[in-house]
């Protein structure tokens, strides 16, 4: 693992790192904020998955999470959204919603993407092992959050591993990718025509099929330009209500899809995670 940069913030250290990933077959870059802590302490971890076109840098630079994480003693981890580098396949038309920057947190099965697009394995297996080896992380206290495509990833991972993640939150998530254009394009391109495989990466379908998680918090802006076509938050509300899944789903008046929205509610989400990870 190579350290690309470290900066002191709120008594902790914000780092950016790179390593050669076995899962993706590429170099992968990620960021980690480690709060001030006593020597030998093991700290709870909040994972943050970013959205379409983003890298680790978007939330690292704009997310405004460090003060709360430093106060509450939380490690904050932000991976990239897709493999990158020479030989990594991209959308043939160069579209923003598929290929580079749009890995959708799945393990692709379709050529040419299957060679590198293994973001599910990277986020759920490889990067957690690396984090445990190099940082003071407590694997028994983890939660996950994300934005847009990353909100989709956080919800599906949380529903798949409810014993690992104590809580899940999301900003403007793609709740039912199998029903909207962004998700249909990505799931077909990465996973092919197997709709059962799609359901394993669709939060609403997972809940309908019996998956549950300990707790869920979702914030969605009512001025989000993607709400009606791509996000359809009401489908998640309806699925949770029908299944008895514990969830707080809030529509925030006037907010859009940007980091102005995310940064407004980030501290509240961090504190919500801390309460479930540490009882704070």
Q: Which of the residues are catalytic?
A: 148, 224, 257
Which residue, 149, 90, 88, is CA-closest to 123?
149
Structure tokens at 262: 């995310």
Sheet holding 137-147, edge to edge: 2-9, 12-20, 27-34, 75-79, 43-49, 137-147, 165-171, 216-221, 248-252
Which residue, 134, 168, 132, is CA-closest to 152?
168
- Count other Cβ atoms within 10 Å, centred on residue 273: 32
- Count other Cβ atoms within 10 Å, centred on residue 99: 22
């Amino acid at each position: 693992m190579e350290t690309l940069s470290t900066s002191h913030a709120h008594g902790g250290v914000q780092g950016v790192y790179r390593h050669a990933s076995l899962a993706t077959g590429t170099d992968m870059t990620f960021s980690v904020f480690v709060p001030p802590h006593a020597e030998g302490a093991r700290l709870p971890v909040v994972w943050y998955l970013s959205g379409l076109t983003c890298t680790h840098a978007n939330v690292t630079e704009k997310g405004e999470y460090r003060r709360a994480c430093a106060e509450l003693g939380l490690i904050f981890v932000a991976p990239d959204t897709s493999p990158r580098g020479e030989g990594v396949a991209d959308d043939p038309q160069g579209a923003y919603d598929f290929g580079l920057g749009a890995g959708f947190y799945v393990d692709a099965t379709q050529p040419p993407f299957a060679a590198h697009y293994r973001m599910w394995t990277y986020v759920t297996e490889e990067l957690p092992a690396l984090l445990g080896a190099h940082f003071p992380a407590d694997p028994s206290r983890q939660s996950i959050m994300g934005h847009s495509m990353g909100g989709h990833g956080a919800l599906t991972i949380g529903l798949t591993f409810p014993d690992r993640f104590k809580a899940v939150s999301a900003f403007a998530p793609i709740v039912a990718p199998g029903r909207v254009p962004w998700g249909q394009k990505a799931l077909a391109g990465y996973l092919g025509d197997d709709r059962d495989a799609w359901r394993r990466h669709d939060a609403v379908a997972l809940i309908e099929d019996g998956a549950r998680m300990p707790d869920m918090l979702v914030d969605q802006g009512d001025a989000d330009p993607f709400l009606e076509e791509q996000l359809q938050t009401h489908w998640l509300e309806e699925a949770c209500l029908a299944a008895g899944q514990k969830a707080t789903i809030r529509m925030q008046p006037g907010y859009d899809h940007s980091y102005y929205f995310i940064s407004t509610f980030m501290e509240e989400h961090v504190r919500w995670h801390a309460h479930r990870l540490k009882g704070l």
